[in-house]
Structure 1
């Protein structure tokens, strides 16, 4: 019997090549998109799940009052781990990691020269018990002894092969930040799904004394504390005792209400209040959204299949009548038609797997991931393939099989099957409405997302960013402690004289940067309880001119090695309690142990991405904090300038690798995730629309099959081709409008929630919805109009003879 079903199904599908191709195409597109989204969601939700003790691993984070609500950071004071270990015996192990991204590694050579490497993943200072908490296999050497003593290092297999051409690098020497480290062990490479991308681990004890001197008042987001909770202990017990711990070490005068909280390892990659060492997070809301999109695409494909199947049902009415007359039961017919659907679904799944494999090469490069179809060990992948095949077969096949198998033999043999009585007319119309609810939701969402990205690109950030080159300064300086000669100032002056260089400036960072140096300040005479938070920009005398920062009150500052006075932005004036910028001129501000007057106020500018509101900023001279050389260059001479700057920079810093970047490109990287998401969403929207058009094509085909004689009669009575097309297109326009009425408010709500994550955003106006509706109507009318046109131009004599 099964063999008979398969043979019959194959023959039917082979005869109806057009509809079979449409069905397979729709299902293939839907399954391919959902498979890619499945792989993406699976990867993003799997971060650090491989650690065997993951349920007992926690990160200690810092929470305090900010100017605009709670401030969260993953960083802690470096003295916290020792105190935490002593006060919380429930913690089996406590470890600190101090990360340095974008670091230069030097390999000393016998001939006196050195090999230099810029490592984007940088290095991490860690303690030996890191390996007691986290699973990172040691290939050669010992984890327990590898980081015990100062100037020791553990290297990954990948980096060992890169640096030394061999896996066993034990005994080799690497140099970081003027200090040499001897490699004591080799560890396995880190997996793709981890927030601990460490290739080179240096012994923290090397820098511990210097870092501990900062005490409890210094917090850096890349210095993080992790602990392993003892088995049987409750994290709630530690949380209850945390207030006493804070009072003991921070003191009762805790004006910012600073405290420490515990974050489970499982939430590190999904909690966007904090950062990770990969500097990426995937909020649960985003994962849910991607999952919903995948489900929508599958549903859209199934609806398309149903519409096409029922559209072709009339052609099979006589077949059903004959089979029933010869004794076939309805159950047998249902199984036969379900078999046809399953065969189509299996073929679509196999084609989807092949297409996905081809697309992953491009997708991985675009997303900077390493997604793969691992059939040998990925049980979730097999579960997805089997469940989707089964669900799609049932969703797509059950309704058409029951409709077709339900034809009455007498009516079927006399070709008296009507669309409204036998083919689920209203249900099919409802499915088309649902299909276009999904499509129009995607269209509106994509328009909003792209519009927001364009807004980011066009919005003024309050400073000049075009034709600005930034070059790192790799060494800190304190001329007062030496011979009084500043290498970086000398370099700046030499470069300023080059043709094509309009201005050169030394600073900690550009006006807008991913690295923010912050502290708290108070006006002279105010108590500690009046402290407010502010960002600090350490600048020279050329900074305002180079970046075009506009003074609204007072004057600029000189070009000194240390601060003599401050410049602030308008937001700090507001936070400090002044209405007029002129009122703060001459007032003295205290932070970092110094009290100096404010001599100028600049217009507000964005220091971070447009997700966050503009905060207070203090600009001050401090050569010890200069890390960046910025150049405003003639756009026509950029490459010429770079070619002249490089040898001068290398002469000043021969131990380092010259590097540069354009400021506008750095700023675009702030929104790289959203840009990628907008492109992906555009692709998935296009797929949803295309699949929806296939569904409309199915309805139009059904209409043409049902109303062939009616069209012939109308043409004989004088109806024009245009009139026939408009008459039969009007029904589908109504369905699209109904879908729009449902999709528009849903899209407005969802996209408004997404926009609320940005301090600066567009307003969703009526134009967005009209454009979305217009796009859908245009595409749908083209699809239906094509089929209507074909039916309308048929010779009426042939139409009237149609059986």
Structure 2
């Protein structure tokens, strides 16, 4: 009997090749997309989960309340973690981790400018599970000038030779550091990333011997490992008294009051909104999860529609089998079995497609979600069970409908699946296209937001600007001067900060509209006299820095329009000549610059100050001509090697660097577009199934109309209008839901597009055109068919 079921199942699949192909491919594509999205969501949710004690690790963060605003800081003061360990028994351990932007590392004659270096306390390998392949985790980072290399870094510097006990040199002064350990490469799903980990005691010895009692410097991420059973909420409530004890007087004097908070390590990546390292987005994870569910639902809906559309063709088969003694239960099992077989074939294709598409998916996601789908055998098993479940559930309704046909009725040629079946199929199509239309609108909004961010006027010039980091090399001024004599160089400037990069914040006191010195935190750019002209930043009041005024070097400040408003002035002109005090420097405001976006468009423009400070300049920015660019860069590199020979030549273009901030959003947009297109494609298959079913059911009616003189366009219109009504109903359902959801998504952006009515109009028109095309394929085929065939009586 079972063999017979399989034979009939494959015979029917082969007899109806097109329907079978649509069914199998629709399910395969749906399962592939759903599985890949599942891997992405699982990966995003898995950040830092590989640490065995991750549920007891907390990041220390701070809210700094000034008289004007609150700064949400992701770093902790240097002195807080070690003193928390000393004062509270519930703290088992602590670790401070800071990342070096660029460090020169030498091995004999070879030089490398490393940008993936961490400085960490000796407890680094005790708090976190970054496994050591060689070395003692207790002592590897204990002594000054000790360093641990990743497997990749070890091969890079020492090849097959054992690095343990060998020496590297760091910084221009060539400080010798001893390799004390080799660790596994840090996993992709870790917020803390680096190929080289240096002992923080090295930093203490070289630059800051009083680091453990530094309560004002925010230079490192601080992490606490709590003892088992410790209550983080109770500990957090003790922190105000802790701060008052150690730094209460300093807070009162500076008028900056700190509140310490604890963030669970597992929540930081997706949920923390604080400034700092690039994080994930829980909203995007939820959106992709919903899309995966939608795609799987659409695939199931298609199966029901397409299988039911074939019920008319198999009705006589059912009638004959019932006449010869087949029971309803047997027929039900057979038809459910057929749907399960289709799902298993689809599962096999989904595994093949997933294996083939995973490298491309990793590329689109911008990270290695998985090396191979076969490393997730448990998840493949879940997908297999899901495929069988889909086969049973999706095949249940058609099986019951087909097995319920009365043999006398169907053998006479009079049969129908009933109004309930028609209603269900229409509901499924409405659901599919509500999802599809929603995704079309969402795609349009996502694309427009990305386009808006790329093309918005940032308020400064970033085109053809080449940036180099001299890391404070003594000859940097001579290098800048030499560049101005290269023919392809239009202008040069120096600064400590670059738009789109990291900049410092400075506690400042500025005379407000009442004539009082008002404390506040200002972002600070140290620049030279050429910076404002180089970046074409507009001065709206007062003047720019000028070498003609000797006091500009020490006693002048320029602020932006946002800072003007913060200190209560109604116009930029009113701020000119007002006093300021900032980091031991005092003077007056000489100019107000127009607001420009020196941070991402996801953040509002913040109060900004600029000052001249030659000793702090680090970056050389060069505006170059687009003509003969290759030779210009070669000439710049030649001057670099002549004047800054101790450092490797590295550069980037500012426009590319600034746009890099939006890569995660652009990747989200590309992934969204691809999966939305898949959902729309699968929805069209479902619509094709319903059209096919309708044309079979109305074959005699269409034949009569053609005999009576109906044209092809009349028949196409007849078959299309009912489906277009379903599309309109789907649009009415989808539009308000999408309007609400996308407005919420846009809240993540400080500067964003508005959700305009024409987005919905375009989506509606596109949905109708897609539906008309899908319907037209089958409708035209039916309309041009010979009516004699449909009117013939058997």
Matches within 5 A, 1:177-326: 177=171, 178=173, 179-208=175-204, 210-211=207-208, 213=210, 216=214, 218-220=216-218, 223-251=220-248, 253-254=251-252, 255-274=255-274, 279-326=277-324
Q: Is contact 2:511-2:567 (8 Å) kept? A: no
Structure 1 residues 419 and 102: CA distance shift in structure 2, 3 A: farther
Cα separation, 2, equivalents of 1:389 and 1:53: 36
2:690 corresponds to 1:696: no
> Equivalent residue for 2:502?
515
2:538 corresponds to 1:550: yes
User: What 5-or-longer segments of structure 1 have no aligned partner?
Assistant: 478-486
Cα separation, 2, equivalents of 1:269 and 1:143: 26
Deviations 1:612-654 (A, max 9, x none): 1111111111123212111112222322211110011122221
| Structure 1 range deviating more: 712-721 or 362-371 | 362-371
Cα separation, 2, equivalents of 1:167 and 1:698: 65
Cα separation, 1, equivalents of 2:793 and 2:603: 67
| Structure 1 range deviating more: 321-330 or 517-526 | 517-526
- Which residue of the other structure, out of 110, 113, 133, is the alignment partner of 1:115? 110
Matches within 5 A, 1:741-780: 741-780=732-771
Q: Is contact 1:304-1:692 (8 Å) kept? A: yes
Normalised TM-score (structure 1): 0.94
Cα separation, 1, equivalents of 2:66 and 2:362: 39
2:440 corresponds to 1:443: yes
Deviations 1:322-372 (A, max 9, x none): 222222222221111111111111111111111111111222233332233
Deviations 1:467-486 (A, max 9, x none): 11111122255xxxxxxxxx
Deviations 1:723-755 (A, max 9, x none): 111121111111011000111111111110011
| Structure 1 range deviating more: 408-417 or 425-434 | 408-417
> Equivalent residue for 1:655?
646
Deviations 1:420-464 (A, max 9, x none): 44x700110000000001111111111000001111111100011
Q: Is contact 2:597-2:605 (8 Å) kept? A: yes
Q: Is contact 1:589-1:597 (8 Å) kept? A: yes
Q: Is contact 2:538-2:593 (8 Å) kept? A: yes
> Equivalent residue for 1:371?
369
| Structure 1 range deviating more: 752-761 or 49-58 | 49-58
Q: Is contact 1:307-1:695 (8 Å) kept? A: yes
User: What 5-or-longer segments of structure 2 have no aligned partner?
Assistant: none
Cα separation, 2, equivalents of 1:248 and 1:524: 31
> Equivalent residue for 1:150?
144
Number of residue pairs matched by the alignment:
783
Structure 1 residues 139 and 281: CA distance shift in structure 2, 3 A: same
- Secondary structure of the 1:657 match is coil
Deviations 1:84-116 (A, max 9, x none): 111112111112112214444221x2xxxx212
Cα separation, 2, equivalents of 1:256 and 1:190: 37
2:674 corresponds to 1:683: yes
- Which residue of the other structure, out of 666, 691, 702, is the alignment partner of 1:711? 702
Q: Is contact 2:355-2:372 (8 Å) kept? A: no
Deviations 1:115-154 (A, max 9, x none): 122334x211112211111112222221212122111111
Cα separation, 2, equivalents of 1:90 and 1:406: 69
Deviation at 1:292, TM superposition (A): 1.0
> Equivalent residue for 1:172?
166
- Secondary structure of the 1:266 match is helix
Q: Is contact 1:216-1:250 (8 Å) kept? A: no
- Which residue of the other structure, out of 479, 483, 486, is the alignment partner of 1:491? 479
Q: Is contact 1:275-1:281 (8 Å) kept? A: no
2:618 corresponds to 1:627: yes
> Equivalent residue for 2:380?
382
Cα separation, 2, equivalents of 1:708 and 1:786: 16
Q: Is contact 2:478-2:643 (8 Å) kept? A: no
Cα separation, 2, equivalents of 1:750 and 1:796: 49
- Secondary structure of the 2:278 match is coil
Matches within 5 A, 1:412-451: 412-421=410-419, 424-451=421-448
- Which residue of the other structure, out of 578, 582, 596, is the alignment partner of 1:587? 578
Cα separation, 1, equivalents of 2:792 and 2:744: 58
Structure 1 residues 387 and 118: CA distance shift in structure 2, 3 A: farther
- Secondary structure of the 2:710 match is coil
Q: Is contact 1:473-1:628 (8 Å) kept? A: yes
> Equivalent residue for 1:18?
18
Structure 1 residues 395 and 175: CA distance shift in structure 2, 3 A: farther
Q: Is contact 2:118-2:194 (8 Å) kept? A: yes
2:114 corresponds to 1:96: no
Cα separation, 2, equivalents of 1:524 and 1:716: 92
Deviation at 1:373, TM superposition (A): 6.7
Cα separation, 2, equivalents of 1:765 and 1:67: 39
> Equivalent residue for 1:159?
153
2:24 corresponds to 1:27: no
Cα separation, 2, equivalents of 1:788 and 1:126: 69
Cα separation, 2, equivalents of 1:766 and 1:583: 42
> Equivalent residue for 1:666?
657
Structure 1 residues 275 and 325: CA distance shift in structure 2, 3 A: farther
- Secondary structure of the 1:401 match is helix
Cα separation, 2, equivalents of 1:349 and 1:785: 31
- Secondary structure of the 1:258 match is strand
> Equivalent residue for 1:740?
731
Backbone CA RMSD of aligned residues: 2.1
Normalised TM-score (structure 2): 0.95
Cα separation, 1, equivalents of 2:711 and 2:103: 75
Deviations 1:686-734 (A, max 9, x none): 1111111111111111111111111111111111111111121111111
Cα separation, 1, equivalents of 2:642 and 2:608: 34
Q: Is contact 1:495-1:645 (8 Å) kept? A: yes
Q: Is contact 1:75-1:219 (8 Å) kept? A: no
Structure 1 residues 67 and 184: CA distance shift in structure 2, 3 A: same
| Structure 1 range deviating more: 499-508 or 246-255 | 246-255
Deviations 1:549-593 (A, max 9, x none): 111111111357943301111111111111111111111111212
Cα separation, 1, equivalents of 2:381 and 2:51: 23
- Which residue of the other structure, out of 111, 118, 129, is the alignment partner of 2:123? 129
Deviation at 1:529, TM superposition (A): 9.3
Q: Is contact 2:495-2:619 (8 Å) kept? A: yes
Cα separation, 1, equivalents of 2:515 and 2:144: 43
Deviation at 1:212, TM superposition (A): 5.7
> Equivalent residue for 2:78?
78
> Equivalent residue for 1:483?
none
Q: Is contact 1:452-1:761 (8 Å) kept? A: yes
Cα separation, 2, equivalents of 1:761 and 1:18: 46
